[in-house]
Amino acid sequence: MLVKYWMTTEVITVDEDVSLMQASKLMKEHGIKHLPVIKKHRLVGIVSDRDLKEAQPSDATSLDIHELYYLLDQVKIKSLMSTDLHTTTGEEVIERAAALMLDYDISSLPVVDQEGKLKGIVTKGDLFRGLIAISGIHQTQLQIGLEVEDRPGAVKKITDLIRTQGGRIVSITTHYEEAPEGFRHLYIRCKALENEEALFEDLEENFKILYRTHYKAD
């Protein structure tokens, strides 16, 4: 699944000469936490609500309210924004975008085209929605975890057993990290089984079942 299907395309942006006060007001008005900074139609930085909060004087300041407002109006976004940008493209898969956010401990990624022009922004919340959609959790109650040999045909044998019981496969995911050498862990969501117990008897004869669990379907 690609980033372009989950990103926000109507992005609120600011010029690099916008003041801290203006940027803060804009974030509050639109309920956003990140502002891409644009110069001559190109992305040059990004500023977060955390950046703005850290730049504001502490509560212990001796400035009166007028002095404080004047100070905040003099601070320009270009002095606060992050220019060490991590970006993605609309054609990138959401798993890669999520990994990038995790690797660099960031909560959003500007989405740019080949010329560096801003096309959208994708946040952790957007990626969570996408990954949940991929998982199929809202489509079925049943998930099965199995340990299978990492060899051709192993997955097909499992899916054939599911189909024998009239089951429909909603999603299949797999990973190797916790599996023994030569094996992998497989997670299958399926629905419409005619006889769930009969399926598990067949699976237990051929594979190691890690778990089976039912989630409440929405």
Beta strands in 105-207 (DSSP E): 108-112, 118-123, 142-149, 168-175, 183-191
What's the CA gap between 196 and 140, in Å, rounded? 13
Task: Indicate if the pLDDT at residue 218 is higher than 80.
Answer: no
**pLDDT, tens digit (0-9, with 9 covering 90-100), for 98-129:** 999 999 999 999 999 988 889 999 999 999 99
CATH number of 139-214: 3.30.70.260
**For residue 169, what are the β-bridge partners?**
190
Considering the chain, what percentage of its residues have pLDDT values greater than 90?
A: 65
Q: What is the DSSP letter of 57?
A: P
CATH class of 3-132: alpha beta
Distance of CA 53 to the CA centre of its chain: 25
Q: Domain spans of the chain?
A: 3-132, 139-214
**Residue 89: predicted pLDDT:** 96
**Residue 70: predicted pLDDT:** 59
Task: Select from 102, 110, 60 the least CA-distant residue to 84.
Answer: 110
For the residues 132-144, what does the mean pLDDT come to? Answer: 89
Q: Do the strands 14-15 and 34-39 form a parallel or antiparallel pair, or are they unpaired?
A: parallel
**Residue 57: predicted pLDDT:** 56
Task: Indicate if the pLDDT at residue 165 is higher than 60.
Answer: yes
Higher pLDDT, 61 or 12: 12
**Residue 64: predicted pLDDT:** 53
Mean pLDDT, the chain, whole residue set: 88
Task: Indicate if the pLDDT at residue 190 is higher than 50.
Answer: yes
Higher pLDDT, 158 or 58: 158
**pLDDT, tens digit (0-9, with 9 covering 90-100), for 45-99:** 999 888 887 776 554 455 555 555 556 667 788 888 988 899 999 999 999 999 9
Which range among 135-139, 151-155, 173-177, 179-183 shows the weakest confidence by mean pLDDT? 135-139
Task: Indicate if the pLDDT at residue 217 is higher than 50.
Answer: no
**Farthest-apart Cα atoms in the chain, separation:** 77
What's the CA gap between 84 and 218, in Å, rounded? 41
**Residue 61: predicted pLDDT:** 53
Q: Which helix (H) or strand (E) holds 8?
A: none
